[in-house]
Chains A and B, each alone.
Chain A
Amino acid sequence: MSKKTSAQPALHKVIMVGSGGVGKSALTLQFMYDEFIEDYEPTKADSYRKKVVLDGEEVSIDILDTAGQEDYAAIRDNYFRSGEGFLCVFSITEEESFQATQEFREQILRVKNGENVPFLLVGNKGDLHDKRKISVAEAQARAQQWNVHYVETSAKTRENVDKVFFDLMREIRSRKMDDTKVSNGHGKEKSKIKRLKCCLL
C-alpha cells in the first residue's frame, strides 16, 4: 500500500455482473491477459488492475469480477457501491441469464441511487451461434428500454472484448467529467459525509 500510484493516472472502477457461468471471468481474463480459460471455476470476488491507454491518455482500470451465484447475492450491495461502471453480462445461449440481467440492473440502480450509471449490456458466447437462444433484436430491445448500449462478445475469440471495456471506460470518464463540472470538488466531500452516515445507521 506504500506504492499507491505516485503518478496518479485516473482510475476507473469497473464491476462485472451477471449470472453464474455466463463468462464474466473469461471476459476479464481475456481482456487482462489475452488468455481464454476453458475450465469453469466459480468466482468469489476477484480483483484486477492495470494501466491502459484510453484515447491517448494513460489510465488505470480496476476490474472487480464478482460471483454470479445466488449464494453471494447478499454481499453484492457492498461491491456495487464502490463500482463506477458496470458490465452486465449474459449468455446468449441461456434464457435465464438474460432474464437475470433485469434483477442486476434493478439492484445496481437501487445501490447507485440514480438512472445515469455507466452501464453496458453484454451478450457473451457470441461464437456459439447454433446454440443461440436470445436473438439480437430481443437484447437490443431491452438495451433500448434501459437506454444503454448492447454489445455481443466472445471471450473465446476475443471479439469485442476490448471494445466493451473501453466503451465503458469512456462512459465512466464522461460521467466523472460531468460530476466535476456540477459539484466542483464539493460534491465529493458531500458524498463522503453521506456515506459515513449510512455506515453509522
Chain B
Amino acid sequence: MGPPPSVTGISPKEGPPGTRVTIRGEYLGREPNDVIGLLICGSDCLLSAEWKSSNKIIARSGPGKGRGDILITTKSGGRGTCTVQFRGYHETIGPLKESAVWVEEAPLPGLSWGHRSLSHSTYHLEDPLGLSVEEHEKKFPEDDLHEMFPERSGDLTAENFEPNWFLLEHHHATSFDDLKVGLSYLKRKVEGQKEGQLSFLKDNVSSVMEQMDTLFILKDKFAEDQKKQNDDSITKIENSINDSFNEANKLFEDVLSRREKADATRQALAVMTRYKFLFFLPMNIEHNIKHGDFDLVMSDYARARNLFGKFETRVFTQVLSEVESIIQNLKVSLRSKLEDMPATLEQQKKIIRNLVILGVEGDPGWVAITKTYSYIQEQLHENRKKHIAAENAQLDAETSKHKTDAMADTYRKLSVNLLPDLQNCSPPRVAFIENIVELMLQMFPEFLKLGQAYFNGELQIKPDRNKQTEFKTFAVSVVKLVCSLVRTSILPQNIDKDLQWPHHSSSKQSSINEIISLWLPHCIRLVQTLYSSLIALDISHESLEMVSKLLLDLRIHSMIIQLKKTADQVKSLESKENWCLEFDAEFGAITQLPGEFEKLVTDSVQRIKESALETERKELSVLTNSTAKQELTSLTNKIFLNFVQTLEFLGMISEDHDHAVAVSQLIGSPTPYSENSSTELTWEQRLLAMLSNCRYTRIVLYPKLSALFRHHGFPSIEEPVEQCSAALSTLENRMTETYVELKSDPLVGTVEPSMYLGHFEWDTCTKPNDLRPYAKEILTNITAVYAEVHRLVPKLLFHIISQIVETVAEELSRLMSCVTKFNNYGKIQARIDITGLQRVLHQFMTDNAKCFFDEALDVVSPITNSENSIIEEVLTNFLKKMSLQLSCFTAVRPTKD
C-alpha cells in the first residue's frame, strides 16, 4: 500500500457551493479510478471530481457550509489528510448583487441519493433556534473561534459539536430574550420530532435502507446459523424481517405509483405544451381562413410542415392530415375566389401569392389574367344589353304615354326630358358610355398591372413568356371592344354589325340622334379621360391609336353635327325676323338678322372649338384630317348659303296684297305711306332693309367671321366667304333691280296720265308760268323714293335714283316723241318741263338719261331767244319757289363705293 494522499493546496480557498476547486497535493491517486473518495467540507464531491495528475484534482464544492477539510481516499493509499481547508459559504443573491454563479433555487436533487447521507447536511440549512441568521455584518472571526475552542466545531452534526461556538458564530448579536424564545422553539421541535415518526422515517430514508441492508445481512447470517443449529427463533426472526420488508415496500408502493402516474401526466402535458402549436393548428387555420388572414395561414402551414413533416408519430400525422385537408379546401376556395369577379388587383395578387405558396398546380397568375379579361368583356357586353333594354323601355313608355300626340311632338318632349342638364338622367346610350368608360378606368389599369406583375415575376410564378403576346392581344381586344361599343352606340357609321344597337323606326332614330348630339361633348370628354388614362398606362401603340381614332371620329362627328345644326338654325332664322330696324351711319337700316346670324356662327364655332378642337396631347388634331377639313368647309359654305337664302327669301317674297298700286296722288285716292309704315314695313322697305343687311353681311360680317375662324385655329374659310360674297352681290343687284323696277314702274306709269290730265293738249297750251304738275309729280315721287332709300340704304342712293331718273327720262322722251303737234306755248311749256327736270336732277343723271333728255328736247322744235328768256324766268321762279323741296337733289354726288 502506497502513501496516503495529502492535500496541500486549494484554489480558491473559499466559495459558494458549486465552486470549481483545484486541489493540489501528493499521492492523489495513480489514475482516475484510483480515487474512491473526495470530501470537501464533509460533502461528497467525487462525482464532480476530475483527476488531472497525482498532484492535481479539480472538483466542484458541495453544499457544505463553513470551514472544512478536503479529504481524499484512494485505493492505493487509503484515507488521506490535508493541510489546507476550504470554506463554503452561501451567497445571498439579491437584485443588486452581481453574481457570476447560477444560483440553483431548488436544492440539487439527490446527487448522493442512497449514497453517503446528504440529508443531515441539508438539515443544517435551518437554524435550530428558528431565529434569523445574521450572515454578513457582524461575523465572528473564524480563526478566533478556532483558537477559543480548539478541537471543537460549530457544526451541528459534528461529534465535537460546541454549542458556544455555534451560538457565537450564528447568534453572537442576538439578545437574551430572543435566545430564550429560540430555546423554546427548539424544545417544541424536539417534541414534534418524537411524535412524527413517519416524517422522521422519510427524512432518514437512506439510513432506513442501510438498516434494511444490514438486516438482510443479519438474516443471511442467522440463516447460516440456523442451518447449523436448527433454531426456531431464527424462523421467527425471518418472518418478522419479511413482514418488516413488506411493510416497508407497502409504505412506499403507493407513493411511488402515484409519482409514476404524476410523471406520466406531466410528460404528456409537457408534450402538449411543447407541440401546442401543432395541436391548435387546424383550429387556428380555420379561424384565420374565416377572417381572411391568409398570410398567417400560409406561414403557419409552412412552419408546421417544416417542423412536423418528418415526424412519423401517429398523432402528428393525424393532425397534419387534418391540416392538409383544410389547406386543400382552402386551395379550392381560393381558386374559386380567384375566378370570382370583380376583385381588386391587391386581392388578386394576394390570392395568387397564397396559391403559389400552397403549391397549386397550374398557373394561377394566368388564370387570373384570363378571368379578368373575360370578366371585362362580359361586363362590357352586359352593360350594352342593359342600356339597350333601358332605351327600349324608355321609348316604349314615351310612345304609349303620348299615343295621341303627334310623333314629332313626342320626340320633342322626349328630347326635352332628356336634356343634358341633369347628370343622373342621361339617355341610355350616354349612360352606357359613361359606364363603360368608368369600367375601363377601373378594371383596365388593374388588368394591365396584373399582367405586368405576372410577367415581371412579382407573383412568384415563373411567367410563361409565350403568353406575353397573348396578353397583348387581350389588352388590344379589350380596347378594341370598347372602341367599337362606343362607336356603335353614338356614331352613325357603324363598323361592327354584331354590336349594333337595335334599329328603331327612322323617326325614333333621328330623335335619338338628336339627343345624342346634345350629349356628344360630354361623350367626347369621357372618351378623352379614358384616352389620357390609357396613355398614362403605357399600353401598346395599337390600342392607343384605336382610341385616338375613335376620339377623332367622335370629334369630327360632333363638329359635323354642330355645323349641321347651325345650318338648320340659320335656315330657321327667317321665321325669327321681327323687322326691327336699327340705323347705322354706314349701312343705313339693318335688322337683327345679321346679328343673329353672327351670334349663331360664333356660338357654333365656340362649341366646336370646345368639343372638337381642344385636343389633349398625343391626340390627332381634327383639323389635320382632310375629310374633316372638307366637311368643315362645305358645311360652313352651307351655313353661309343658307343665310343668303334666308335673306333672299325675306327680301324677295312679296306680301299677298299688293300695295304698290297707288303711287299717283293725282289719280284716285292717294294711299298715304304712313298708314302702312305705322304697323309694319312695306315690301319695298323690307327689300331695302334686306339689301342693307346683305351689304352689312358682305362688308362687315364676313371679314369678322373670317377673323373669328382664324382666331380659333380653323382652316381658312376664304373660299366659302368668297362664294357667298359673290352670291350676296348678285342678290344685292337683283334686289336693287327689283326695287328700281318696283319704284320706277308705277312712277313712269303715272307720267302719261298726269301729263294729259284735265284734257291737256300741247297744241292748246296757254302761256306757261310754271312747270306742269306732271313734272312736279315726277319730282315729288322721286323725292319720296329718295327719302325711303336715303333712310334705309344711303349708300345705294345715287345708284337707285339715277336708275329711276333714267327710266323717267326715257318715258319722257317717248312721250315727247309721241306728241303730234305743239303750239308755241306748248313748245315753251315742254321745254320748261324738260329743262327743269334736267336741272333739278342733274346730279343723278346717267349718260343714258342725258341722251333721253336731249332726245326729248330735240322733239320740241327750237325756240327763239325771247322764248328762251321766258323759260329762264319761269325756271328761276320755279327753283326759287321749290328750293326747299328740291334741296335734296343738290346733295353732293357721293363717291361710288
Contact = CB atoms under 8 A, between A and B. Distances in A.
A48 B9 contact: yes
A44 B144 CA distance: 23
A60 B83 contact: yes
| A1, A44, A65, A199, most chain B CB atoms within 10 A | A1
| B8, B13, B144, B151, most chain A CB atoms within 10 A | B8
B845 interface: no
B101 to A, nearest CB: 12
B8 A1 contact: no
B328 interface: no
Contact of A199 (B67, B84, B140): B140
A49 interface: yes
B53 to A, nearest CB: 9
Contact of A47 (B84, B143, B151): B84
A3 B69 CA distance: 9
Contacts, number: 71
B12 interface: yes
B144 A196 contact: yes
Contacts of A35: 55
A3 B82 contact: yes
B85 interface: yes
B31 to A, nearest CB: 19
A4 B83 CA distance: 8
A107 interface: no
B9 A33 contact: yes
A189 B144 CA distance: 12
B32 interface: no
B11 A1 contact: no
A194 to B, nearest CB: 12
Interface in A1-32: 1-4, 25, 29, 32
B160 interface: yes
B85 A32 contact: no
B13 A45 contact: yes
Given A3-B81, A3-B82, A48-B24, A65 B8 contact: no
A82 interface: yes
Contacts of A47: 9-13, 84-85
A199 B141 contact: yes
A147 interface: no
B14 interface: yes
Contacts of B9: 29, 32-33, 46-49
B147 interface: yes
A46 B153 contact: no
Nearest to B9: A48
| B12, B69, B151, most chain A CB atoms within 10 A | B12
Contacts of B8: 32, 48-50
B447 to A, nearest CB: 73
B68 interface: yes
Contact of A195 (B13, B24, B83, B144): B144
Nearest to A35: B55
Interface string A33-72: 1010000000111111111000000001010110000000
Nearest to B66: A1
Contacts of A186: none
A25 B10 CA distance: 12
B84 A49 contact: yes
4 A-B pairs closest in CB distance: A46-B11, A47-B13, A49-B83, A48-B9
Given A2-B151, A47-B9, 16 more contacts: A1-B67, A1-B146, A2-B69, A4-B150, A32-B8, A32-B24, A46-B10, A46-B13, A46-B22, A47-B11, A47-B84, A50-B8, A51-B83, A192-B147, A196-B144, A199-B141
